[in-house]
């Protein structure tokens, strides 16, 4: 490291005028260089990934005889190649939406309970356990979902079809309730739960004591206090927690690959077997795919990359707009 | 105090990781029983790399065990990374031979020939397999199906077990009035490819075929073990897996009526079909044409190949490849296959295979 640093004597004259009186120390310069380098590196890596994906995707996109965005079939190795991402995009978004619908309220509930309802001991024990959930490898979730959760959910899903089958989403014409988007979404919900609850909890704890006490002093009940003091303050944090969870749900691979009955049909009846996601499709087809097949999988990966970026940027936008509410780390 | 505690935790975590890593080593079939006293192996030494088809992984593992037990100076490393990757590795000179579920395609042949300095690349059929139609229906000990009913079940036009078409083949058997839970592979696989090849040969399948499942309906499961587990745990289900998975899971296999009466799905009946295959190549190149539609044996079979250079392998690779393949193509080598759920190559075809291996130089 020392080789890149100029001798101390030459450092002083270059010091920016802004830092008056203080000579720029060697440590400052090294640190500036390192952190700037790290910042640039992440951009370079992102650009390299994007460039790689585009480069590898081009051959299949040129060979494709179908509309890449609106076609559901996936036969890139056929002659002529014919494939599209419609069904994959549908499955990816649908499983992620189900995961969000289930995980966000529960995750925020857990976080609220830990931060503002439970006593200290119970709170920290619960927090520890939810954090542990994040450390379970996804293949374990996949196997658990397939071997345990799927059989256990059969009764509930049949009940859903019997009483709510008039909603097209829960209609089931096959009489088979296994390996469905609904089950995959439920497993994803459990997987993203720790992310959502851990980050929300951190934000809830940061709500200024004064806000809380002011609300309570005005005669608010606990729930009113939560609504008036905590939620407005913590909203950006809750949104970014959800978006991080969404990111994980979108990209989750092996658990979904194990559970979903991979096919290429857009089926809104989400309790029937079927559905496929970008990540699961890549995992299932990579090993035996031909040259165009591999390239087509990379192309689908590129779409996932763009969707994930878009989700994260949307989250940033929402947070930036609500900057006035945000706490210490704006 | 705090530091020590953290240290203890780290130690526990590390031990756990190591223990798990130890568990992670390959749990594939390692049946050493048949490998003792192979006086017929003429040893070569050195180390050899090969890669390809995962369908023949257990067969190669068995052979490598036997070979290395007889020849302690030899190391053979077979990576089961898929047929496509195996052929690519071979063309790029990463490996001495490739295991593949299918013979070299037209566009691959010139590249493979170019890799072999002075001779053509040849396809040598080495490992046969049987694809069993496994089912889980209580009270049905023997189920007979034919190509049209199989196609009907797997493209979801036959949806009940007591469908008249199934009942007609199984007189005297009480079939339940329940939906058929049909399982296929959700990942790409040679098993799917060869299963649909049979249906296509019988002209009852409206799809193009290939490694990816094309029909709508039914449920996909990942890997042969995934399908076997799904069938085992789902009442009134049906699926297709290779013989060894059917045996390991203890599942019943359907008899297939190919026009000459029902045939049981055994290694011996599948061997009949493979032995009757005709060679579709010249010289020592032995890509096979299997008459699935007309065979008197069990018709749903697959053959995997070793792809290597007839001439032009480099020095140490040559000795070891030839020595190893000579063993695998020997009667002993092929006999070892039956015990681990594969199908041996027999009869005239085996003689051709042995001639092809001996031509490697």
Per-residue burial over A143-172, b if 16 or more Cβ lie within 10 Å, else e, is: ebbbeeebeebeeebeebbeeebeeeebbb
Judged by a CB distance cut-off of 8 A, whether residue B24 touches chain A is: no
With contacts defined as CB-CB under 8 Å, which chain A residues touch B219?
176, 178-179, 261, 273
Return d(Cα B246, Cα A154) in angstroms, integer.
Answer: 26
| Separate counts of helices (H) and strands (E) for chain A | 13, 2
Inspect the interface and report whether the beta carbons of A78 and B188 lie closer than 8 Å. Answer: no
Which CATH class name applies to B131-272?
alpha beta
Residue of B116, B156, B92 whose CA lies nearest to B313: B116
Structure tokens at A263: 């096919």
With contacts defined as CB-CB under 8 Å, which chain B residues touch A258?
222, 226
| Min Cα separation A116/chain B (Å) | 28
Residue of A255, A261, A70 whose CA lies nearest to B217: A261
Residue of B121, B116, B154, B156 whose CA lies nearest to B135: B154
Q: What is the pLDDT of residues A211-269, one digit of tens each?
A: 999 999 999 998 999 998 999 888 888 988 998 899 889 999 999 999 998 888 898 99
Rounded to two decimals, the pTM is 0.79
Structure tokens at B221: 């499961």
Judged by a CB distance cut-off of 8 A, whether residue B81 touches chain A is: yes
CB-nearest partner of A289 from B188, B213, B221: B188
CB-based contact B288:B103 (threshold 8 Å): yes
Q: What is the pLDDT of residue B39?
A: 54
Using an 8 Å CB-CB cutoff, list residues of chain A that contact chain B: 74-75, 77-78, 151, 174-176, 178-179, 257-258, 260-263, 265, 273, 283-285, 287-290
CB-nearest partner of B220 from A174, A263, A287: A263
Compare A24 and B267 and report the one with higher pLDDT.
Answer: B267
One-character DSSP codes across B27-72: ------GGGTT-TT-----EEEEEEE-STTHHHHHHHHHHHHHH-T
Using DSSP's 3-state secondary structure scheme, residue B242 falls into strand
Work out the average pLDDT over A154-169.
91
> Do B8-126+310-358 and B131-272 share a fold?
yes
What ranges do the domains of chain B cover? 8-126+310-358, 131-272
Span B8-126+310-358 CATH architecture: 3-Layer(aba) Sandwich (3.40)
CB-based contact B48:B321 (threshold 8 Å): yes
The torsion angles phi and psi of A82, rounded to 5 degrees, stand at -145, 105
Inspect the interface and report whether the beta carbons of A75 and B208 lie closer than 8 Å. Answer: yes
The torsion angles phi and psi of B104, rounded to 5 degrees, stand at -55, 135
Q: Which residues contact A287 (CB under 8 A, 6 or more apart)?
A: B54, B81, B82, B84, B85, B187, B188
For each successive 10 residues of chain B (361 residues), what is the average pLDDT? 46 46 39 47 88 89 92 91 86 92 88 87 94 94 94 93 94 92 90 94 91 88 90 93 91 93 94 92 91 92 94 86 93 90 93 93 86
Q: What is the pLDDT of residue B210?
A: 85
């Amino acid at each position: 490291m020392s080789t890149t640093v100029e001798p101390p004597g030459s450092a002083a004259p270059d010091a920016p005028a802004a830092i008056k009186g203080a000579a720029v120390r060697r440590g400052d310069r090294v640190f500036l260089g390192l952190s700037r380098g790290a910042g640039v590196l992440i951009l370079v890596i992102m650009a390299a990934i994007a460039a790689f994906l585009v480069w590898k995707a081009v051959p299949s996109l040129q060979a494709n005889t179908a509309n890449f965005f609106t076609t559901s079939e996936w036969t890139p190795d056929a002659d002529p190649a014919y494939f599209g991402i419609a069904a994959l995009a549908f499955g990816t978004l649908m499983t992620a939406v189900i995961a969000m619908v289930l995980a966000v309220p529960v995750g925020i509930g857990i976080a609220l309970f830990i931060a503002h309802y439970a006593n200290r001991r119970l709170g920290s024990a619960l927090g520890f356990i939810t954090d542990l959930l994040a450390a379970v490898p996804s293949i374990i979730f996949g196997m658990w979902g397939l071997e345990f959760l799927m059989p256990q959910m059969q009764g509930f899903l049949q009940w859903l079809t019997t009483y709510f089958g008039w909603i097209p989403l829960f209609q089931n014409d096959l009489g088979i309730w296994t390996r469905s988007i609904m089950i995959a979404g439920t497993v994803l919900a459990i997987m993203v739960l720790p992310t959502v609850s851990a980050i929300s909890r951190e934000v809830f704890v940061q709500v200024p004591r004064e806000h809380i006490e002011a609300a309570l002093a005005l005669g608010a009940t606990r729930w009113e206090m939560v609504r008036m003091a905590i939620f407005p303050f913590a909203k950006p944090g809750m949104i970014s927690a959800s978006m991080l969870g969404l990111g994980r749900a979108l990209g989750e691979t092996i658990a979904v690959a194990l559970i979903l009955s991979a096919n290429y049909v857009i089926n809104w009846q989400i309790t029937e077997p079927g559905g496929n996601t970008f990540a699961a499709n890549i995992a299932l087809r990579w090993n035996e795919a031909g040259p165009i097949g591999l390239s087509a999988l990379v192309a689908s990966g590129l779409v996932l990359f763009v969707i994930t970026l878009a989700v994260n940027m949307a989250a940033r936008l929402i947070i930036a707009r609500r900057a006035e509410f945000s706490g210490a780390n704006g | 105090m705090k530091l020590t505690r953290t240290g203890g935790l780290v130690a526990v975590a590390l031990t756990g990781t190591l223990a798990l890593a130890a568990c992670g080593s390959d749990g594939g079939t390692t049946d050493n029983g048949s490998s003792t006293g192979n006086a017929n192996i003429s040893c070569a030494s050195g180390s050899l790399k090969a890669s390809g088809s995962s369908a023949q992984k257990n067969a190669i593992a068995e052979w490598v065990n036997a070979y290395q037990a007889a020849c302690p100076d030899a190391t053979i490393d077979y990576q089961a990374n898929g047929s496509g990757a195996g052929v690519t590795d071979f063309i790029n000179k990463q490996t001495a031979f490739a295991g593949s579920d299918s013979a070299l395609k037209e566009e691959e042949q010139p590249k493979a020939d170019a890799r072999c300095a002075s001779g053509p690349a040849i396809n040598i059929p080495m490992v046969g397999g049987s694809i069993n139609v496994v089912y889980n229906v209580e009270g049905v000990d023997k189920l007979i199906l034919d190509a049209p009913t199989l196609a009907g079940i797997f493209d979801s036009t036959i949806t009940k077990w007591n469908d008249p078409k199934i009942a007609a083949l199984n007189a005297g058997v009480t079939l339940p009035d329940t939906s058929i839970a049909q399982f296929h592979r959700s990942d790409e696989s040679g098993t799917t490819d060869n299963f649909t090849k049979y249906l296509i040969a019988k002209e009852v399948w409206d799809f193009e075929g290939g490694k990816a499942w094309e029909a709508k309906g039914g449920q996909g499961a990942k890997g042969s073990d995934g399908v076997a587990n799904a069938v085992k745990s789902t009442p009134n289900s049906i699926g297709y897996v290779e013989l060894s998975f059917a045996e390991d899971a203890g599942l019943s296999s359907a008899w297939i009526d190919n026009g000459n009466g029902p045939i049981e799905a055994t290694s011996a009946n599948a061997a009949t079909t493979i032995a009757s295959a005709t060679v579709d190549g010249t010289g020592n190149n032995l890509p096979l044409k299997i008459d699935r539609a007309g065979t008197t044996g069990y018709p749903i079979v697959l053959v995997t190949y070793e792809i290597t250079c007839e001439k032009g392998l480099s020095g140490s690779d040559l000795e070891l490849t030839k020595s190893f393949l000579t063993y695998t193509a020997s009667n002993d080598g092929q006999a070892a296959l039956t015990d681990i759920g594969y199908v041996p190559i027999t009869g005239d075809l085996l003689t051709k295979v042995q001639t092809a291996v001996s031509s490697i130089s």
